Structure 1
Amino acid sequence: MAIRQYPLGIQTFSEIINKKMLYIDKTAYIYNIAASGKYFFLGRPRRFGKSLLVSTMQSYFEGKKQLFRGLAIEKLESEWTEYPVLHFDMSGGKHMDAEQFEQYLGYRLEEEEKKWGIAIHVNGANNRLIELINTAYDKTGKQVVVLVDEYDAPMLDVVHETDCLDKLRNTMRNFYSPLKYCDPKLRFVFLTGITKFSQMSIFSELNNIKNISMDNEYAAICGITEEEMLTQMSDDIDALAQAQGIGREEAISKLKDNYDGYHFSAKSPDMFNPYSLLNCFADNEFNDYWFSSGTPTYLLNMMRKYEVMPTDVITRVEADASEFDAPTENMTTIMPLLYQSGYITIKDYNRAYNYYTLDVPNKEVKVGLTKALIPSYVTRNTLATTNTARRIAQALDKRDMDGALRLLQTFLGNIPYCENTNYEGHYQQLLFVVFSLLTDFLVDVEVHTPNGRVDIVLLTRTDLYLIELKLNKTAQEAMRQIDLKDFRQRFALCGKPVTKVGINFDAEKKTIGNWVIA
C-alpha cells in the first residue's frame, strides 16, 4: 500500500496543497520566470506537469500566499500582489473542426466573462478577449495575467490533415492576436503545449514571445529530477523496494531504467516522467503507465504520412537543435514531433560541434512505442506478438537461438501478413520490431563496420548475435556474406561470445524458410 496520497489525475495546485498530497516544489522557477519577462512559451510532453504548473502560477498571481507556506517562493516573494487572471484550458478542444472549436472557445470565454460580470459579449473571439482584458484591468486597476494551457491540443489530432489544420490555425491566430494589442494592460502571458508551431502561423502578432522549452535554467520546471526523487520521495522508494522484495539501490535502478532519461536542454538534469513515477509509487508496481494513458494517434498518422520505418524511430540519432526543436507544421522529417511529444529525448550534447544525440528516453517508452508499431509493421494481433517476443526472450536467455527462430517461424506462418512484403527490408523492420520488445536486450540495424554493414545486431545478457537476412535465397548465402566481411572481428571487443546467424525468408510462405547458426 502507498505510504501517502499522490495527486494522480489532479492538476489543481490548491487541491493538492489543501489535501496535503505530495507536491514537488517548483515555485522557485515560477518566481524567477515571473520576474524576468512577460511573454513565455513552454513545450513539454503530455502528462509532464504542465497543467499543474499553470495552476500553481494562477494561485501565485492571485496572491494566495497561504497556499505556499513552506515552499521556496515563500522566502522569495515579499509583495504577493493580487492580479486578475484569465485561465484558458484548450485540452477540451480535441477532435473538433474549426466550427466546433469556435464554439468551444466561446464556452471558455463565457466562463471568464461571467467571473467579470460581462453579461452581453461582443462578436468574435478576439474581440471578446480584448473586452475581457479591458474589463479585468478596469475593475481591479491591475495588469492582467493570461495563462493558456495545452494551446495546441485542438491541432494535434489533425496535424496530418492540411486543410483542417489551416482552418483551425486561422481560428487560433484570431484568438491570440489581442495579446500584443493589449500589451500595456498585461502583466504576464504564459502558454504551454506539446508541439512548437511557428510564431508566424499562430502568434503572428505576438512576435516577442520567449520559448523557454530548451533553456538550461528551466529544464527541470516540469517533471521530477533524480535529486528531487531521492530527497523528497525517499520513503516512497523504500516502500516500493519492500513491496517488490528488492533492495533500495535495485529499486532506484529499475525506476531509472523505466521512467528516467528525459533531458530538455544541453545541461538538463535527468528528468523522470512524473505521471509514471507517481503511479509506480501508488501501485508499488513497475508498469507501463505513460504510454498506456493515451494512444499517440497523431504520431502514428504522421509516421504513415512521412513513410517512417520503425528503425527510424527507435534509434539513436545525431541532430542540430533546429532539426528537432522546430515548428511541427513545416517539418520535413518526423523528428520534431517525436522529440516534442516525448518519444525521443536529448541524451548528449557536443559543444565543440554544436549537435545533440537523441534517443528513446527509457524502457517504458521503448516498449510502448514498439507495441504501437506492431499493427502497422507486424500484425494486428498485438497479443500474439508480445507473447511470442516473451517466449523468444526466454529462449535467448537459455542461449537457444535455434529455438527462438523456430518460435518466430511458427508465429509468422500463422498470422495475417501485411501488404508489400516482397522485399528484404520488410523483414528487417519486422524483426526489429519483435526484437525491440525484448526489453533487457539491445537491437540495432544496419550497423556499420569497416567492411560493410550488419543487417541486425542483437545483444542479449550472454551473447552478441550478428544476423544477416536474405529473401528467396538461402541461409547459407546470408552466412557467406557474414564470413566475407569478417564482422566477427569488428565486434570482438564487446566481451561476449559472437554468434553469426544467417536467415532466409520465404516470400511465398511469408515466414522464415531456413537459417544457419555458427
Structure 2
Amino acid sequence: MHRVKINIGLPAGRSVKGPPGQRSIRNCDWKGSREAPAGKDGAMPRTIGIGKQDFEKIRVNNNFYVDKTRFIKEWWERDDDVTLITRARRFGKTLTMSMLEKFFSRKCARRGELFQGLFIWNEEKYRKLQGTYPVINLSFANVKEKTYQTTVQRIGQLLADLYNENRFLLEGDLLSEEEKAYYRSISMNMPEVTATMAVHRMSSFLARYYGKNVIILLDEYDTPMQEAFVDGYWNELAAYTRSLFNATFKTNPYLERAIMTGITRVSRESVFSDLNNLKVVTTTSEEYADCFGFTKEETAESLKEYGLSAQMEQVERWYDGFTFGRVRNIYNPWSIVNYLDRREFGLYWTNTSSNSLIAKQIQEGNRELKIDFERLMRGESLEVRMDEQIVYDRLLEDETALWSLLLASGYLKLEDYRIEGEGTDNWTPVYTLALTNLEVKLMFRTMIHNWFGTVSSDYNDFIRGLLQKDTDAMNEYMNRIAVSVFSFFDTGKNPSKKTEPERFYHGFVLGLMVDLADSYEINSNRESGFGRYDVVLFPKRAGLDAILMEFKVRNPKKEKSLEETAQEALAQIKEKRYAEELVKRGIAPECIRSLGFAFEGKRVLIEEQPYSFLHFPHE
C-alpha cells in the first residue's frame, strides 16, 4: 500500500507516527498491538476476514458481518423478473450473491443455521422458503482478457464449470440423447452459438430435475465490457453479450427470477435492447438503498464492537460520502473492514483497482473537463446534465459519459438530483456531484502525481524554479517534458495543433496542485478584471508571492517569434486587469508575479515580469 504522511487532527493525547513515507494514521492507544480490546458488552469482537466473499464461510467461522439479509425479503417481495443493481466495486455485491445462493439453493437445503439470528430468519414464511429453488450462480469478475477471442473462451470456461458442477443431470433418462450430446459439447472452445444458449438450456435441465424454475445470479456482468472498451473490441463483445442475455433472461421460460450486479449501467441499446422485463436499480434509485455499503448506524456499531467509537468523526471524513436514493451517509464497507482490522487510516478501497479506465478518460479529456476536475479537487461541486447509463463507445466524445462513469464507480457522490422541465418534451436530469471523501481525493492526487513521475524524475525542479523565480530552469523543464508528454498525456482523440498546448497545460496544472496545494489556492479560468485568467496561485501564508499565468499559442500572422507571443501574454494580464481579484484580497502589486507562457508545437517559452512593472492601474 502506498503511504504518505497526513495530518488528520486526531483527538488530544494521540499522535501520528510511522516510518518515512507512510500513509497511515495509527491510533496510538493500540501501541502497535494486533489484539483488539473487548468490544460491546465486554465480549471479544469477531474475527475479521479480509476479502471473504463466501457467506457460508463467514457465518460458520463467526467472522465480522453486518446483517444485510433484509435484502432477501425486499427483493423477493418486489417480484421483478430480472433486476440489475449497480454499485461501486467492493460494496458487497459478491457477498450478497453468495448470501442469495445459500438462502435459495436446493443444494443448501436444511442449512438454516447459516441465517439464525439474522433479520430474514424472524419470519416463518422465509424460513420455509430457504433451500427450495435451483440456483445458477455465475460471476464475470475475473473475465479481464485482452482480446475478444480469449474473452469468449474465458466465458466458455465458466459455462463449462457450471455444467461440470451439475453432471448428475446426465444420470438416468432425464435428458434425451440429443440433450446429453449437447451437454457434453459444452467447453471453453465451443462455438459461440452453443455458448449463448448454455445458461438457457441448463435452466431447462435443472427445472425438470427439481420441478421448479431456476433463480439466476450473474455477478459483475460488466467487467468484460470495460476491458473490451479499453482494449478495443467493444462492438464484438456487445453483440455476443446481447445474444447471451437475450437467451438467458428474456426468452427463458424456465426462469423464476434473476439478479445481475455490476458497477455501471450499460446502455440498453448496447446489450439490453431485447430485455423489456429488466428492472434497473442505480445510484439514484430508491430500491435497496441501504442494502449495499454500511449505514452510519451500522458503522458506529462496528466501531463500538472493536473499541474504536472515538474515531467515528475521522472515519466519516475518510470513508463516508456515498448516497443511494434518498439514503445519505453510506460508508465504504471495504475501507471500514480494513480500518477495523489494521486500526489505521489509509487508501484501502481506492487501491483495489488499477483505475485505468478512469485515468484514460481524464488524461485524454478536453480543457473544459480538466477545469471542472480542478474544481472538484478544490472541494467544489459540479452541476452536470447526464444520463446514468454508460454508452461506452461515446466515452471519448461525450464528457457527460465520464461523469456517469465516475458516479457509478463511486469516485463522485451525489449531493443533489432533480429533473429540469419535468412533464415536458425537454426534461433533463441534473446531478450535483462532488468528490466522495478524503480517500478518493488522495487517490486522485496520487494518480495525477504518478502521471508526471512516469515521464520525468525531476518534476520538483519545475516547482523549485517556479518558487525561486528561475525561469531558465522552468523553460528547460517545460521544453523537455513537452516533447515526451504531448504525445503521451493529453492530446485527446482528435487533437488540433492549436488547442494541444493548452490541453497539455490544463492537465499539467493538476500536477502542480499535488505539490503546491498546501501553500497555494490554485484557480483557473476564473473571471477577474475584464476577462478570464488562465491560472492564479493565491498564497495561503505570508512570505509567498501571488502568481498569475497566461498561456498563448503563437500566431505566425501576428507574432514574429515566441518572445513576442510571451510578451503578448504578459500584456494581456495587464490589459485585462487579471490581478484585480488579488488586490481585492489585500495582496500588494509588488507581491504579484506575472508569467507568460508561449507555445508553438512542442516548443515552450516562459517569460516573467513583476506585475507592478506592468504599471498596475491603481483605483
SS of residue in 1 equivalent to 2:257: strand
Is 1:318–2:383 an aligned residue pair? Answer: yes
Q: CA RMSD in A?
A: 3.8
1:468–1:478 contact (8 Å) kept in structure 2: no
**2:119 corresponds to which residue?**
72
Note the C-alpha offset of 1:177: 1.9
> How many percent of aligned residue pairs carry the same amino acid?
22
| Code of the aligned partner of 2:532 | R
Indicate if the aligned counterparts of 2:593 and 2:611 stay in contact, CA closer than 8 A: yes
Aligned position for 1:487:
581
User: 5+ unaligned residues in a row in structure 2: which ranges?
Assistant: 1-33, 37-45, 171-179, 187-193, 422-428, 491-499, 552-565, 613-619
The Cα offsets for residues 266-310 of structure 1, whole Å up to 9 and x where unpaired, read as: x23122222222222322222222222221222333445555754
Aligned residue for 1:221?
A: 291
The two structures have a TM-score, normalised by structure 1, of: 0.81
Give matches, 1:26-175, under 5 Å.
26-36=68-78, 37-62=80-105, 64-76=111-123, 77-81=126-130, 82-117=132-167, 118=169, 120=180, 121=183, 124-160=194-230, 162=232, 164-175=233-244
The CA deviation at 1:146 is 0.5
Greater Cα shift, 474-483 or 111-120: 474-483
Structure whose CA Rg is larger:
2
- Does 7-16 or 218-227 show the bigger shift? 218-227
> Bigger shift: 332-341 or 455-464?
455-464
Q: Which whole-Å CA distance do the structure 2 matches of 1:141 and 1:412 have between them?
A: 77
Q: What is the TM-score of this pair, normalised by structure 2? A: 0.69
Residue 417 and residue 85 in structure 1: after superposition, are their counterparts in 2 closer, same or farther (change >3 A)?
same
Looking at structure 2, the residues matched to 408 and 14 of structure 1 have their Cα atoms a distance apart, in angstroms, of 64
Query: Following the alignment from structure 2 to structure 1, what is the Cα–Cα distance between the partners of residues 393 and 318?
Result: 31
In structure 1, the residue corresponding to 2:327 is in which secondary structure? coil
Correspondence for 2:454: 380
Which position in structure 2 is the counterpart of 1:468? 548
Task: Tell me, in whole angstroms, the C-alpha distance in 2 between the residues paired with 1:87 and 1:412.
Answer: 59
Tell which deviates more after alignment, 324-333 or 186-195.
324-333
2:406 matches 1:338: yes
- Residue 89 (structure 1) shift: 0.8
- 1:190 Cα deviation after fit: 0.5
Cα deviation, residue 86, structure 1: 0.5
Q: What's the offset of the Cα at 1:222?
A: 1.6
Distance 1:32 1:356 in 2: 27
Check conservation: 1:409, 1:511, Cα contact below 8 A.
no
Task: Confirm or deny: 8 A CA contact 1:321 1:356 kept in the other structure.
Answer: yes
After TM superposition, the structure 1 = structure 2 runs for residues 110-509 of structure 1, keeping only pairs within 5 Å, are 110-117=160-167, 118=169, 120=180, 121=183, 124-160=194-230, 162=232, 164-181=233-250, 183-213=252-282, 214-236=284-306, 238=308, 248=310, 251-265=311-325, 267-303=326-362, 306-307=365-366, 310-314=370-374, 315=376, 316-322=381-387, 324-331=388-395, 332-333=398-399, 334-350=402-418, 355-374=430-449, 376=451, 378-380=452-454, 404=467, 413=476, 416-419=480-483, 420=486, 423=501, 426-436=504-514, 443-448=522-527, 451-456=530-535, 467-471=547-551, 472-473=566-567, 477=571, 480=574, 483=577, 486-488=580-582, 502-505=594-597
Shift of 1:375: 5.3
CA distance in 1, matches of 2:357, 2:145: 11
Quick one: distance in 2 between partners of 1:444 and 1:433?
13
Shift of 1:488: 4.2
Per the TM alignment, residue 39 of structure 1 is displaced from its structure 2 partner at its CA by: 1.0
Change (3 A) 1:426 1:113: closer
Q: Does 2:75 align with 1:7? A: no
Aligned residues: 490
Q: Which residue of 2 aligns with 1:245?
A: none
Residue type at the aligned position of 2:312? I
- Name the aligned partner's letter for residue 336 of structure 1: S
CA distance in 2, matches of 1:305, 1:426: 10
